[in-house]
């Protein structure tokens, strides 16, 4: 007897393999930032006073706002995944859109924060930075590199979420096929998790 397959079934799709691949990728990202956190810890241990004084140039308020923004965005992307599972396409699109708006708000906030540092000459290679002590230079070099790398991950995450949103709208991501949304959500949670470590390391030094 012949078996009739639904048009939505893709025999070449392997959702499990794609999830495993995403988890492996996330693992490599954790190793990358874990190594950077280790480097930061060593330099901070060797230059405690310089790191403490340098961190006072950062705005705790802006860092806190960005933390809240990313925590809310984690919730919205999680709601989007639940919504697609419950066949609620409209809510899925709304939550993905909200996540993207929050991500944009994060980047705008970071733009103004970085801009203030550049206006004051606090950036790698500047004359002011060259005149600072070794510990201060290490702090700001790590600050720009690690938060900059995190910003790149934000942009990648926004690209993934935008692609997912378009596919949800077209119907290619649907209640029977939403691995792309799950993987994008996993990546976004990783981005949020990294910031949760970056915030206290740079902004809340005591």
* Structural domains of the chain, ranges and CATH numbers in brackets: 35-203 (1.20.120.80)
Q: Is the Cβ–Cβ distance between 191 and 160 less than 8 Å?
A: no
How confident is the model at residue 64, as a pLDDT? Answer: 96
- pLDDT, tens digit (0-9, with 9 covering 90-100), for 24-45: 989 999 999 999 999 999 999 9
23 has a pLDDT exceeding 80: yes
Q: Which residues of 38-74 are buried (b: 16+ CB within 10 A; e: fewer)?
A: eebeebbeebeebbeebbeebbeeebeebbebbeebb
- pLDDT, tens digit (0-9, with 9 covering 90-100), for 43-98: 999 999 989 888 888 999 999 999 999 999 999 999 999 999 999 999 999 999 99
Cα-based distances in Å from 183 to 93, 111, 171: 16, 27, 17
- pLDDT, tens digit (0-9, with 9 covering 90-100), for 104-117: 999 999 999 998 88
Model pTM score: 0.86
How confident is the model at residue 184, as a pLDDT? Answer: 95
- Burial (CB < 10 A; 0-12, 13-18, 19+), residue 91, is middle
**Mean pLDDT confidence for 8-32:** 76
């Amino acid at each position: 007897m012949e078996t009739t397959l639904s048009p939505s079934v893709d025999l070449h799709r392997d959702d499990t393999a794609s999830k495993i691949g995403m988890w492996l990728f996330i693992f490599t990202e954790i190793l990358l930032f874990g190594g950077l956190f280790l480097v930061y810890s060593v330099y901070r241990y060797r230059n405690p006073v310089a790191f403490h004084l340098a961190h006072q140039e950062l705005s705790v308020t802006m860092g806190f706002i960005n933390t809240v923004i990313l925590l809310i965005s984690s919730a919205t992307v999680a709601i989007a995944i639940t919504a697609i599972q419950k066949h609620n396409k409209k809510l899925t699109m709304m939550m993905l859109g909200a996540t993207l708006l929050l991500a944009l708000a994060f980047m705008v906030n970071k733009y103004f924060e970085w801009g203030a540092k550049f206006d004051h000459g606090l950036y790698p290679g500047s004359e002011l930075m060259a005149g600072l002590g070794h510990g201060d230079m290490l702090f700001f070099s790590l600050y720009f590199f690690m938060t900059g790398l995190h910003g790149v991950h934000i942009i990648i995450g926004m690209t993934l979420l935008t692609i997912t949103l378009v596919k949800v709208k077209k119907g290619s991501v649907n209640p029977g096929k939403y691995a792309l949304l799950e993987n994008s959500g996993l990546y976004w949670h990783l981005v949020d998790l990294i910031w949760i470590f970056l915030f206290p390391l740079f902004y809340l030094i005591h």
